C-alpha cells in the first residue's frame, strides 16, 4: 500500500538507500555544528557523551524510524497512522508524524540559509584559487596578502548584506527543490550516488592534509581527553539534540526514506551502517578542522564562526591553502545538499499523499514556504538584528531568529519526537510486526528492545527536563 510519493518504485537498491540515508545524515551538522559544539564545550567530554548517545539511543532509534516507515509505507504521518492501525492503537499517534514533518520543515528553512553561507565561501575560495593560479602559484596560501581582519571581515560583510544572504539562500533552495522535484529515483537517489562518494574522497584529502601540515597531536588530545568538569545538563541536552539532528532523526526524513525501502533489505545492519558512517564523519570533521586551527594557534571555541572565519585565516598561512580551502567548502556544500533534500522530501511526500499534488508542485510549495521563513532568518543578521523571538523563554533569551528556530527544533521538537518514537515503537506498536521488520532475533532483539523501551525514553526525558528547566537541579 505504498504512498504515491514512492512512485511505485522507491530505491533501486539497498546501496542507493544507504547512500541516500547517509547523505541525509551527513551534513552541516557534522562539519559545522559538531566541531563547533565540541570546541565550545571543551572537546573530549562532549565527544564522549555524544558517542554514548549515538550508541545507546541514536542507532536504535534510526532502526525504529526506518522500520516505522517501511511498515507504514507512506509519508511520515500516514506511516505512523498505518502502523498504529495495524497494532490496534489510537490513530492519534499520527501526531508524531506531524511533529516530525513540522520539525523537518523548520530545520530546512534555516539550514538553507547556512548552506547559503557555504556557497558564498565556495565562490570566494574558488575565486581566490583562480587568482592564485593566475599569479603563477596554484599552491599559494588562501587570501594571499590579506590581513587576518580582512579575512574574518568577509563574514561580517556577508551578514550585513541581506540581498546577498537571501540570494544565496534562494540558490540553495532552488537546487534542493529541483532535485526533490525530479523524483525519488531520478533526483534524490541520483544526487546521493554522485555526491556522497565525491564527498568522502574530498573529506579524506583534507583530513590527510590536516594531519600532515597541522597539529594533529593537539587535535587528538583536544577531542579525546575528556574534562568532565565541563559537563552540565545543558551540555547533555546539547549533545543529545546534536546526536538526533546529525542522524536526521525526528525530522521526517528517515521515516519517509524508510517507506521507499524494499522488503528484501535487512534493516538492522543498515541502520548500524548509517549511524556508524555519520559518527565517523563527525569525528573526521573534527580531526580535519582542529589540526589546522591549532597549527596557527587559533581558538577552537570560536562558535559558529569556526569554519567561516577561523579556518580561512588558518588556510592563509598554510601551504596550498587556497586550493584546500576551496575543496573544503565544496565538500561541505555537497554534504549540505544531500541533507536538505531529505528535509524537503518529508513534508513534500506528505503534501503529495495528502493533497494529491504532483511531486513537482508539492516540492515547490513546500520549498517556497521554507524559503520565506529562511528570509526572516537571514534578515535577523541585519535589518532585524534586535529581534529575539523567544526572549521570554530563559534558555532562548539571546537567540536571534535563526538560532531560535535552530534551538527550538533541536532542543525541544527533536527530543520530544524521539521520546514519542521510542514509546510508540517500544510499547505501543505490535511486537511481532516490529520484530519481523527489524530482522533481529534472540539476544540482539532483546538488547535493541531494552534500549528503545527503557534507555531511550528515560534518558531523553531526563535530558529534556533538566535541559529546559536548569533550575530543577
- The span from the CA of 276 to the CA of 97, in Å, is 25
Nearer to ligand PHE, 125 or 248 (CB): 248
Question: Which CB, 25 or 313, lies closer to ligand PHE?
Answer: 25
| 30 is an interface residue for ligand PHE by CB under 6 A | yes
Helices within 214-266 (DSSP H only): 216-224, 233-246, 253-258
Closest CB to ligand PHE among residues 246, 316 = 246
Which among 56-64, 219-227, 283-291, 339-347 is the span making contact with ligand PHE, rule CB under 6 A?
339-347
Output the DSSP codes for 391-435.
TTSGGGTT--HHHHHHHHIIIIIHHHHHHHHHHIIIIIS-HHHHH
Minimum distance from residue 50 beta carbon to ligand PHE (Å): 12
Give the residue closest to ligand PHE by C-beta: 29
Shortest Å, Cβ 151 to ligand PHE:
25
Residue 246 near ligand PHE by CB under 6 A: yes
Nearest-approach distance from CB 458 to ligand PHE, in angstroms: 23
Number of neighbours of residue 469 by Cβ within 10 angstroms: 12
Site for ligand PHE in 141-200 (CB under 6 A): none
Among 10, 23, 29, 367, binds ligand PHE (CB under 6 A): 29
Query: What is the C-alpha radius of gyration for the chain, rounded to an integer number of angstroms?
Result: 22
| From 150-158, 248-256, 296-304, 364-372, span contacting ligand PHE (CB under 6 A) | 248-256
Looking at 41, 125, 207, 248, which residue binds ligand PHE (CB under 6 A)? Answer: 248
> Does 251 interact with ligand PHE (rule: CB under 6 A)?
yes
59: cell is: 542507532
Residues 6+ apart with CB under 8 A from 316: 141, 142, 143, 144, 146, 148, 151
- Which member of 3, 10, 23, 27 binds ligand PHE (CB under 6 A)? 27
Q: Which residues contact 424 (CB under 8 A, 6 or more apart)?
A: 68, 80, 83, 84, 93, 96
Half-sphere exposure of 218 (CA within 13 A, CB side): 18
* Of 99 and 298, CB closest to ligand PHE: 99
Among 116, 253, 300, 415, binds ligand PHE (CB under 6 A): 253
* Dihedral over alpha carbons 375, 376, 380, 386 (to 10 degrees): 160
CB 307, min distance to ligand PHE, A: 13
Residue partners of 108: CB distance under 8 A and separation at least 6: 176, 340, 343, 344, 347, 367, 370
CA 101 – CA 69 distance, rounded (Å): 13
Please report, as residue ranges, which positions from 209 to 238 form the binding site for ligand PHE (by CB under 6 A). Answer: none
Q: In the 3-class helix/strand/coil scheme, how is 102-161 assigned residue by residue?
A: HHHHHHHHHHHHHHHHHHHHHHHHHHHHHHHHHCCCCCCCCCCCCCHHHHHHHHHHHHCC
Please, what is the minimum distance in Å from the beta carbon of residue 268 to ligand PHE?
20
Binding characters for ligand PHE, 288-327, by CB under 6 A (x = yes): ----------------------------------------
Residues 104-143 that bind ligand PHE (CB under 6 A): 104, 107
Which of the residues 82 through 111 are near ligand PHE (CB under 6 A)?
A: 104, 107
**Pick 38 or 323: Cβ nearer ligand PHE:** 38
CB 192 within 8 A of CB 162: no
Q: Is residue 342 within the footprint of ligand PHE (CB under 6 A)?
A: yes
**Contact partners, residue 217, CB within 8 Å, separation at least 6:** none
28 binds ligand PHE (CB under 6 A): yes
Give dist(CA 283, CA 330) in Å, integer: 19
Length in residues, the chain: 473
Q: Does 24 bind ligand PHE (CB under 6 A)?
A: yes
Q: Least distance (Å) from ligand PHE to the CB of residue 227?
A: 25
Q: Does 245 bind ligand PHE (CB under 6 A)?
A: yes
For ligand PHE, which is the closer residue by CB, 62 or 140?
62
The span from the CA of 106 to the CA of 452, in Å, is: 26
CA distances to 7, 179, 305, 357 from 360, in Å: 13, 10, 36, 8
CA dihedral (111, 40, 331, 308) in degrees, to 10, reads: 80
Q: Is 242 in the site for ligand PHE (CB under 6 A)?
A: no
- Using CB under 6 A as the binding rule, whether residue 339 contacts ligand PHE is answered as yes
For the CB of residue 109, give the shortest distance to ligand PHE in the complex, in Å. 12
By CB under 6 A, tell whether 36 contacts ligand PHE.
Answer: no
**Number of residues engaging ligand PHE in binding (CB under 6 A):** 16
Residue with cell 511481532: 432
Nearer to ligand PHE, 28 or 320 (CB): 28
Q: Kindly give the residue spans of alpha helices, DSSP state H, lying in 160-247.
A: 162-181, 190-213, 216-224, 233-246
- Does 22 sit near ligand PHE (CB under 6 A)? no
Point out which residues bind ligand PHE (CB under 6 A).
24-25, 27-30, 104, 107, 245-246, 248, 251, 253, 339, 342-343
Amino acid at each position: 500500500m505504498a504512498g504515491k510519493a514512492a512512485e511505485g518504485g522507491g530505491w533501486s537498491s539497498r546501496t542507493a538507500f544507504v547512500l541516500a540515508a547517509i547523505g541525509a545524515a551527513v551534513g552541516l551538522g557534522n562539519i559545522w555544528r559538531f566541531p563547533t559544539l565540541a570546541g565550545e564545550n571543551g572537546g573530549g567530554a562532549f565527544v564522549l557523551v555524544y558517542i554514548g548517545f549515538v550508541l545507546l539511543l541514536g542507532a536504535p532509534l534510526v532502526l525504529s524510524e526506518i522500520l516505522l516507515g517501511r511498515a507504514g509505507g507512506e509519508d511520515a504521518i500516514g506511516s505512523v497512522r498505518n502502523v498504529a492501525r495495524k497494532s490496534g492503537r489510537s490513530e492519534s499517534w499520527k501526531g508524531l508524524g506531524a511533529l516530525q514533518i513540522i520539525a523537518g520543515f523548520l530545520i530546512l528553512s534555516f539550514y538553507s540559509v547556512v548552506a547559503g553561507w557555504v556557497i558564498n565561501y565556495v565562490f570566494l575560495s574558488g575565486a581566490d584559487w583562480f587568482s592564485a593560479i593566475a599569479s603563477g602559484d596554484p599552491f599559494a596560501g588562501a587570501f594571499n596578502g590579506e590581513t587576518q581582519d580582512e579575512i574574518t571581515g568577509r563574514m561580517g560583510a556577508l551578514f550585513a548584506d541581506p540581498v546577498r544572504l537571501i540570494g544565496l539562500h534562494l540558490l540553495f533552495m532552488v537546487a534542493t527543490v529541483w532535485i526533490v522535484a525530479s523524483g525519488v529515483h531520478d533526483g534524490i537517489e541520483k544526487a546521493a550516488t554522485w555526491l556522497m562518494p565525491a564527498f568522502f574522497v574530498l573529506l579524506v584529502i583534507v583530513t590527510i592534509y590536516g594531519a600532515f601540515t597541522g597539529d594533529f597531536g593537539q587535535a587528538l588530545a583536544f577531542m579525546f581527553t575528556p574534562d568532565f568538569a565541563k559537563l552540565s545538563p545543558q551540555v547533555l541536552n546539547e549533545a543529545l539534540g546534536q546526536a538526533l539532528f546529525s542522524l536526521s532523526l525526528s525530522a521526517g526524513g528517515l521515516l519517509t526514506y524508510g517507506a521507499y525501502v524494499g522488503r528484501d533489505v535487512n534493516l538492522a545492519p543498515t541502520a548500524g551502517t548509517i549511524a556508524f558512517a555519520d559518527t565517523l564523519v563527525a569525528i573526521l570533521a573534527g580531526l580535519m578542522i582542529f589540526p589546522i586551527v591549532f597549527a596557527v594557534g587559533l581558538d577552537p571555541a570560536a562558535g559558529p564562526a569556526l569554519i567561516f572565519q577561523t579556518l580561512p585565516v588558518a588556510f592563509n598561512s598554510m601551504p596550498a591553502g587556497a586550493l584546500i580551502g576551496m575543496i573544503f567548502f565544496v565538500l561541505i556544500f555537497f554534504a549540505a545538499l544531500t541533507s536538505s533534500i531529505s528535509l524537503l522530501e518529508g513534508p513534500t511526500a506528505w503534501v503529495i499523499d495528502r493533497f494529491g499534488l504532483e511531486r513537482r508542485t508539492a516540492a515547490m510549495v513546500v520549498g517556497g514556504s521554507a524559503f520565506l521563513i529562511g528570509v526572516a532568518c537571514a534578515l535577523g543578521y541585519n535589518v532585524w538584528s534586535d529581534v529575539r523571538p523567544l526572549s521570554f523563554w530563559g534558555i532562548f533569551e539571546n537567540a536571534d531568529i535563526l538560532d531560535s528556530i535552530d534551538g527550538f527544533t533541536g532542543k525541544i521538537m527533536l527530543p520530544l519526537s524521539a521520546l514519542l518514537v521510542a514509546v510508540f515503537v517500544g510499547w505501543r506498536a505490535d511486537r511481532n510486526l516490529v520484530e519481523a521488520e527489524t530482522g533481529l532475533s534472540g539476544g540482539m532483539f532483546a538488547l535493541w528492545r531494552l534500549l528503545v523501551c527503557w534507555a531511550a525514553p528515560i534518558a531523553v526525558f531526563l535530558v529534556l527536563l533538566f535541559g529546559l528547566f536548569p533550575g530543577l537541579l
